[in-house]
Amino acid sequence: MFVEVLPGGGPAASPVQAVAGRAAAARHPLARRLVPYLYILPAVVLLVLWTYWPLLQNVGLSFQDWNLIPTRPRVFVGTEKYAKVLSLPELRQALMNTVVYIGAFLLISVALPLVFALLSRSVQGRARTFYQALIFVPFLVTPVASSAVWRWLFAPDSGTIPAIAAALGHPMGDVFRDPDGSMTSVIVIVGWQMLGFGVLVIAAGLAGINPDYAAAAALDGARRRQILWRITVPLLSPSLVFLSLMTILLSAQWTYPIIDLVTQGGPGNSSTNIYYLLYQFGFRNFDAGLSAAAGVLFFVGFGLVALLFVELSERLSFHDN
Amino acid sequence: MSTPTATRRRAFTWAPTRTYVQAAVILIWCLLPFYWMIVTAFRDVGYTFDPTPFFTHVTFDNFATVFDESLGNHFARNLLNSLIVAGLTTVISLLVGVFAAYALARLKFRFKEMVLGFVLGASMFPGVALITPLFQLFTNLGWMGSYQALIIPSISFSLPLAVYTLTSFFREMPWELEEAARIDGCTQGQAFRKIILPLAAPATFTTAILTFIGAWNEFLIANQLSSDATKTVTVAIASFAGAQPHQEPYTAVMAAGTVVTIPLVILVLIFQKKIVAGLTAGAVK
């Protein structure tokens, strides 16, 4: 993903600049070396103040017993909350569900869009612009509204989908109250929303691939399948990596409102995930320490997964430079 | 994509038909729930579950309900709140993000990998866990019920994604032009303003739209940290009061959903070409 484009790196190292950087050279060399840091400073300051500082406070909270009411005292309880989180019976289920959710979303927002984008590659011109804009529409529907649409579609007795199912001879109950169906329904709803984004990113990636490569390969006798797997997909790898990471990062934000408004994690935690469990710890049970401890564990675990992923993608990405 | 005709000959006659059938199936799947939302938004509340798949019992009552203050709905205010929160989140994230991404994609400095890890790491932390400490912090600062109590956490979430997206875009841009400008005597700052900013505009624009969509649709933070005065549309829809008590106000919720979604759809339809251009210029070369 983040592979240096030029072997010599940025302008700071380029010979061109050493000779011709008149204005820059006139200034103090230290000032020039500071420039990159000035560029990143605002972002770093914002993140330190509003993400990392609260994160640290969260670490503090995780060693305390507190019920979120400002006037109530906070009691230091050591690692008790961590022990409690790790021994929670819901944790295993929530973790497993999170893995299934992310796996399903990778399939829906990376693999499926790849197939769709390849299939619709020959839609060209105006039709293509229109098609891509329309496929993007579900991504724009606010999850709060889409959860209402899907609840309406799946409403037992009167909803459209149960009515069609009954007409076809497969009567169905309330999927959101069905332990075997609740998670699938959340996946369907979130997947519906995320699909368009994937198609758009991959279609743009396909449009950016130089057709000469495929043409050259075809002249050399390559079959379409070979061109697809040996040329198109490797050249698409930056898009695929970008989408995968976005999917993993966004899945939290996307599943939370749907789970909260459609299944509340139920029935019996069958559709909960780690984010929703955290929310329930903190706000439903009024146990800030427990929620904080879960958050810290989550950060460490997820951070490691993400680091691994970034590391992997650096190696797997193929760049057309 | 132009594939040489030699490889296409076999599929010549029926391939386009197949393509369009496939495209149509995908579109129906994507648009049908959206279409239902609009049909139901315009349908009389007494016919909420009428399965007729086209506009029947058309009424604007649901939209009136959405904006009806006597029912306790303050949707106009909610829309303004969302616009303020999502707008400022986008402007600040982009302003700060463009500089950081430029340095990360283009300049050489020590600890670059660390900074990148630091920025991306910020998005690994679940928003849910951030809310408790932020809640405390804002209470101490007397910020609860203010816009900054919503904008700041929203930036915490969108900034890492904006930096990541912009960095991916900037890595793939034709930077030779910058070097050419420097040879002609531009300073690094001038090269950035005069050459790089116009070049980076489509990618920046795309990131801005994605950031705006994310912030506009944000629910978790707003649900916990907003007050009656700063309530955003998503929170308002989730706790909507319909025209008839004791019944889930599906038609009003869908009317509200339509009001919230249509501006985004129009935005995307207008700028669709720019968005694709931005994506093509960037992550996805």
Tell me, what's the ipTM? 0.81
Residue B266 lies in a domain: yes
DSSP one-letter string for A204-263: HHHHTS-HHHHHHHHHTT--HHHHIIIIIHHHHHHHHHHHHHHHHHHHHHHHHHHIIIII
Tell me what pLDDT residue A86 has: 84
Tell me what pLDDT residue B82 has: 93
A277 within 8 A of A265, measured Cβ to Cβ: yes
Q: Is the pLDDT of residue B88 over 90?
A: yes
What does the pLDDT average to over A208-215? 80
What does the pLDDT average to over A248-264? 81
Q: Is the pLDDT of residue B81 over 90?
A: yes
Residue B84 lies in a domain: yes
Question: Distance (Å, rounded) from C-alpha A98 to C-alpha A272?
Answer: 8
Q: Is the pLDDT of residue B10 over 70?
A: no
What does the pLDDT average to over B235-262? 82
Residue B157 lies in a domain: yes
Cβ separation of A11 and B106 shorter than 8 Å? yes
Which chain A residues have a beta carbon less than 8 Å from that of B19? 119-120, 122-123
Q: What is the pLDDT of residues B272-285, one digit of tens each?
A: 777 777 666 544 33
Cβ separation of B19 and A119 shorter than 8 Å? yes
Place of tokens 């405390």: B136
Helix locations, chain B, DSSP H: 5-8, 15-41, 61-66, 75-106, 112-122, 127-141, 148-171, 176-183, 188-190, 197-216, 220-225, 233-238, 250-281
Cis peptide leading into residue A42 (ω within 30°):
no
B131 within 8 A of B224, measured Cβ to Cβ: yes
Q: Is B18 in the same domain as B87?
A: no
Residue B26 lies in a domain: yes
Q: How confident is the model at residue A181 (pLDDT cuts 50, 70, 90)?
A: confident
Q: How confident is the model at residue A19 (pLDDT cuts 50, 70, 90)?
A: very low
Question: Distance (Å, rounded) from C-alpha B24 to C-alpha B19?
Answer: 9
Chain B residue with the nearest C-alpha to that of A223: B7
Tell me what pLDDT residue B91 has: 95
Question: Distance (Å, rounded) from C-alpha B145 to C-alpha B138?
Answer: 9
Cβ separation of A145 and B253 shorter than 8 Å? yes
Q: Is B35 in the same domain as B163?
A: no
Tell me what pLDDT residue A14 has: 43
Q: What is the pLDDT of residues B21-56, one digit of tens each?
A: 888 888 888 898 999 999 999 988 888 787 788 888
Q: Is B201 in the same domain as B151?
A: yes
**Which residues of A, range 164-223, sit inside 8 Å of B by Cβ?**
192, 195-196, 199-209, 211, 214-215, 218-219, 223
Q: What is the mean pLDDT of chain A?
A: 78
What does the pLDDT average to over A174-190? 85
Place of tokens 């706000």: A283
What does the pLDDT average to over B8-15? 55
Q: Is the pLDDT of residue B97 over 90?
A: yes
Structural Rg of chain B based on CA atoms: 24
Question: Distance (Å, rounded) from C-alpha A271 to C-alpha A264?
Answer: 8
Q: Is B35 in the same domain as B161?
A: no
Tell me what pLDDT residue A166 has: 84
From A116-120, A310-314, B3-7, B22-26, the region with the lowest mean pLDDT: B3-7
Least CB–CB distance from B179: residue in A5, A11, A211: A11
Q: How far is A278 from chain B (nearest CA, A)?
A: 7
Helix (H, G, I), strand (E, B) or coil at B58: strand
Q: Is B179 in the same domain as B261?
A: yes
Which residues, other chains included, contact B277 with Cβ-Cβ below 8 Å and sequence gap of 6+? Answer: B202
B257 within 8 A of B147, measured Cβ to Cβ: no
**Which residues of B, range 200-259, sit inside 8 Å of A by Cβ?**
213-214, 216-220, 224, 233-234, 237-238, 248, 250, 253-254, 256-258
Which chain A residues have a beta carbon less than 8 Å from that of B3? 211, 214-215, 218, 224
Q: How confident is the model at residue B12 (pLDDT cuts 50, 70, 90)?
A: low
Q: Is B44 in the same domain as B79?
A: no
The amino acid at A48: V
B132 within 8 A of A58, measured Cβ to Cβ: yes
Q: Is B110 in the same domain as B249?
A: yes
From A75-84, B3-12, B62-71, B125-134, the region with the lowest mean pLDDT: B3-12
Residue B285 lies in a domain: no
B241 within 8 A of B156, measured Cβ to Cβ: no
Task: Tokens for A150, please give them.
Answer: 């899907």
Q: How confident is the model at residue B96 (pLDDT cuts 50, 70, 90)?
A: very high
Tell me what pLDDT residue B112 has: 80
Which chain A residues have a beta carbon less than 8 Å from that of B130? 51, 54-55, 58, 295
Tell me what pLDDT residue B243 has: 62
Chain A residue with the nearest C-alpha to that of B1: A211
Cβ separation of A211 and B3 shorter than 8 Å? yes
Q: Per the structure, how many domains does chain B have?
A: 2
Cα–Cα distance list, A314 to A304, A308, B171 (Å): 15, 10, 14
Q: Is B76 in the same domain as B175?
A: yes
Q: Is B80 in the same domain as B150?
A: yes
Residue B236 lies in a domain: yes
From A16-20, A25-29, A253-257, A281-285, the region with the lowest mean pLDDT: A16-20
Tell me what pLDDT residue A1 has: 40
Cβ separation of B125 and A136 shorter than 8 Å? no
Tell me what pLDDT residue B282 has: 47
Tell me what pLDDT residue B281 has: 56
Which residues, other chains included, contact A237 with Cβ-Cβ below 8 Å and sequence gap of 6+? Answer: A316, A317, A318
Place of tokens 């969509």: B213
Task: Compute the C-alpha angle B140/A42/A57, nearest 5°.
Answer: 35
Question: Distance (Å, rounded) from C-alpha B249 to C-alpha B245?
Answer: 8
Question: Distance (Å, rounded) from C-alpha B104 to C-alpha B110?
Answer: 11
Tell me what pLDDT residue A319 has: 56
CB pairs A-B closer than 8 Å: 361
Tell me what pLDDT residue A10 has: 39
The residue from B60, B78, B106 where one domain ends is B60
* Domains recognised in chain A with CATH numbers: 92-273 (1.10.3720.10)
Residue B41 lies in a domain: yes
DSSP one-letter string for B148-172: HHHHHHHHHHHHHHHHHHHHHHHHT
Least CB–CB distance from A40: residue in B103, B108, B139: B103
Q: According to the per-residue pLDDT averaged within each range, which of B59-63, B177-181, B197-201, B271-275 is highest?
A: B59-63
The DSSP H or E segment spanning B223 is helix B220-225
Q: Is B128 in the same domain as B10?
A: no
Place of tokens 């929310």: A279
What does the pLDDT average to over A155-171? 82
Q: What is the pLDDT of residues A66-84, one digit of tens each?
A: 777 767 777 888 888 888 8
Rounded percentage of chain B residues whose pLDDT exceeds 70: 89
CA atoms within 13 A on the CB side of B248: 13
Q: Is the pLDDT of residue A6 over 50?
A: no
The DSSP H or E segment spanning A76 is strand A75-76
Question: Distance (Å, rounded) from C-alpha A56 to C-alpha A30?
Answer: 33
Tell me what pLDDT residue A216 has: 86
Q: Which of A19, A45, A50 to mutate to test the interface with B (most CBs of B within 10 A)?
A: A50
What does the pLDDT average to over B216-221? 87
Q: Is the pLDDT of residue A27 over 60?
A: no
What does the pLDDT average to over A98-112? 89
Q: CATH number of the domain that B234 lies in?
A: 1.10.3720.10
More confident of the two residues A7 and A215: A215
In terms of residue numbers, what domain contains B216?
A: 62-280
Which chain A residues have a beta carbon less than 8 Å from that of B54? none
**Which residues of A, range 80-109, sit inside 8 Å of B by Cβ?**
none
Helix locations, A120-232, DSSP H: 125-135, 137-140, 143-154, 160-167, 182-207, 211-219, 224-227
Which chain A residues have a beta carbon less than 8 Å from that of B51? 160, 163
Q: How confident is the model at residue A262 (pLDDT cuts 50, 70, 90)?
A: confident
Rounded percentage of chain A residues whose pLDDT exceeds 90: 3
The residue from B31, B60, B89 where one domain ends is B60
Q: Is B102 in the same domain as B184?
A: yes
Question: Distance (Å, rounded) from C-alpha B129 to C-alpha A279?
Answer: 8
Chain B residue with the nearest C-alpha to that of A139: B213
Chain A residue with the nearest C-alpha to that of B122: A51
Q: Is the pLDDT of residue A303 over 80?
A: no
B180 within 8 A of B153, measured Cβ to Cβ: no
The pTM of this model reads 0.82
Q: What is the pLDDT of residues B119-174, one digit of tens each?
A: 877 877 777 777 878 888 888 888 888 898 999 989 988 898 899 888 888 877 77
Q: How confident is the model at residue B90 (pLDDT cuts 50, 70, 90)?
A: very high
The DSSP H or E segment spanning B59 is none
Burial class (CB in 10 A: 0-12, 13-18, 19+), B59: middle
Q: Is B95 in the same domain as B47?
A: no
Tell me what pLDDT residue B212 has: 92
Chain A residue with the nearest C-alpha to that of B136: A70
Q: Does A14 touch chain B (CB under 8 A)?
A: yes
**Which residues of B, range 78-137, sit inside 8 Å of A by Cβ?**
95-97, 99-100, 102-104, 106-109, 115-137
